[in-house]
Structure 1
Amino acid sequence: MEIIELPIEFEYNGQQNYIYPSLIVSENQLTLVDTGYPGFLPFIEKEIVTRGYDMQNLKNILITHYDDDHIGSLYDFKEKYPSVTITASGVEAEFISGKVKPERLAQAEAMLEHMPEEQQDFGHWFVQQLKSLKHVSVDQTVHDGEWILNQQCKVIATPGHTSGHISLYFPELSSVITGDAAVRDGEELMIANPHFCLDRERAEQSLKELKQLQAKSYYCYHGGILTK
């Protein structure tokens, strides 16, 4: 088994930005962790194919949590690769499928009511961005401590950024895919967007638990891989 970082470069508010989805390679099967913003399918495909892998071997998509930069292209992937199995935590699956109003959308709407006038345009845009995300049925839900991917990956519940956020621990590789439970800031792991955490205290505890794993490599969706 191998974990491959997929750096996706894009422009946002006139600045160059990156996200780092992860590709898990196990024998001939590919598992993608998170799918980028809406419209990012071709960018992610390009990164995978450039590394010599066949998209027809994409068998699974794991979603760490519901946010527009993590599930934005999930519908497109499922439409193009209908046999792929989509996996998320039970909590996040409710948001992704549209069965329950996403907590991120509820948060954004609440923040908009008290947002300074100069930030209102962005606030309205963000609410519409979340509302425009297409619902996708989740095929499989996972829970804290569950072993998946041929028993080589342990699901770790890392709530705080969102209620049902999960991270993925690979003991044999001494590696963790953090989602937004941790971001790389220089040579440190930090919580992502503290002001947008649904529960700051739980986010801090989740980060502490990830650090306690003392993994050699932390694959962060924001900031990239941190190798100890």
Structure 2
Amino acid sequence: MNKYRLLDIEFEHNGYKQVITPVILQDEHETVLVDCGYPGFMPLLAVEASKHGINFDLITKLIVSHHDIDHIGSLAEIKRTYPHIQIIAHELEAPYIDGTRKSQRLEQAQTTFESLPDEAKPQAEQFIRLLQSIAPAPVNQTVRSDELLPWCGGIEIIHTPGHMPGHISLYLPASRTLIAADAVVIEQGQLNIANPQFTLDLQEAVRSVQRLLDYDIERIICYHGGLYDGDVPTALRELVQRYRK
């Protein structure tokens, strides 16, 4: 059986309280962290892990869903502090995480900058500088869709592009749980597409949600929104229908 722990990381951003939900999976041999928050979040992750009785230095693997700053911001610091941790990502994401290629989110922010109203440009400039400050980190193992990782009762990789081309979600068959990352979010109790205005390919993101209906999912852990344990198939179908109208 997969043992998963939700790390509810609360913080303030631009004056608003926000929460992200990385996940720790654990068995008798491996402790796997999924995504790691903004730069400087390693102490927050360690404190939240300790609430579940998990010492951060026991983490053996870190799976990255995609290279957005709120998912990889602390990655380089974690790798420097705990070099034994193996970093895992989709093969399409690896060049952006290790610095071989320019961040797609940075490319998007720079490309759209001139079209912004003047009052929005200072915040956009700040965001661009923040993206430029992210330190690269090595990827020790790349994965592909449908690959089954043998840890923690089995972790199936689902390629869920749209938000970013190399975005992955994780299916835990033993507990019928989906770790969605940013494939879907919870907003006002409903599943939705994460930041549709910033999604690199919205129609592909909708197709990824459709693809999730092929899996026997009882609950979804969203990076933004936490645990959704309602009628998952109905919620996913309704989400697809909203965007296909």
Q: Which amino acid aligns with 2:31?
A: L
Provide the rounded CA distance (Å) in 2 between the counterparts of 1:7 and 1:183: 14
- What CA distance in whole angstroms lies between the structure 1 residues aligned with 2:63 and 2:191? 22
What's the offset of the Cα at 1:27? 1.8
Task: Quote how far apart the aligned CAs of 1:57 are.
Answer: 1.6
Q: Return the letter of the residue paired with 1:138.
A: V
Deviations along 1:78-115, one digit per CA (max 9) or x if unpaired, are 01111000000011111000111111111010111211
**8 A Cα contact 2:46 2:55, kept in partner:** no
Give the Å deviation of 1:54.
Answer: 2.0
**Match of 2:101?**
100
> Is the 1:28–1:57 contact (alpha carbons within 8 Å) kept by the matching residues of 2?
no
TM-score (norm 1): 0.97
1:49 Cα deviation from its structure 2 partner = 1.1
Residues of 2 paired with 1:212 and 1:91: CA distance?
Answer: 23
1:45-84 matches, within 5 Å, as 45-84=46-85
- Out of 185, 196, 200, the residue aligned to residue 198 of structure 2 is 196
8 A contact 1:159–1:206 mirrored in 2: yes
In 1, distance between residues paired with 2:29 and 2:140? Answer: 21
Q: Secondary structure at the match of 2:33?
A: strand
Post-superposition offset of 1:148 = 0.4
Aligned Cα root-mean-square deviation (Å): 1.2
**Structure 2 runs not aligned, ≥5 long:** 231-245
Output the TM-score relative to the length of structure 2.
0.90
Q: What secondary structure does 2:93 align onto?
A: helix
- Residues 1-228 of structure 1: pairs in structure 2 closer than 5 A: 1-150=2-151, 152-228=154-230
Q: Is the 8 A contact 2:20 2:225 kept in 1?
A: yes
Q: What is the letter of the counterpart of residue 85 of structure 1? A: Q
Work out the percentage of aligned pairs sharing the same amino acid: 38
- Aligned residue for 1:24, secondary structure, equals strand
- State the aligned residue count: 228
Alpha-carbon displacement from aligned partner over 1:155-174 (angstroms, at most 9, x marks no partner)? 00000000100000011110
**Aligned-pair CA distance for 1:210:** 2.1
**1:190–1:207 contact (8 Å) kept in structure 2:** no
Offset, 1:214:
4.2
State the shift of 1:223 in Å: 0.7
Q: Go from structure 1 to structure 2 and tell me whether the alpha carbon gap of 1:186 and 1:211 turns closer, same or farther (over 3 Å shift).
A: farther
Secondary structure, counterpart of 1:173 in structure 2: coil
Which structure shows the bigger proportion of residues in strand conformation?
A: 1
Task: For 2:188 and 2:215, locate their aligned partners in 1 and report how far apart those are by CA, in whole Å.
Answer: 20
Q: Specify the SS of the correspondent of 2:18.
A: strand
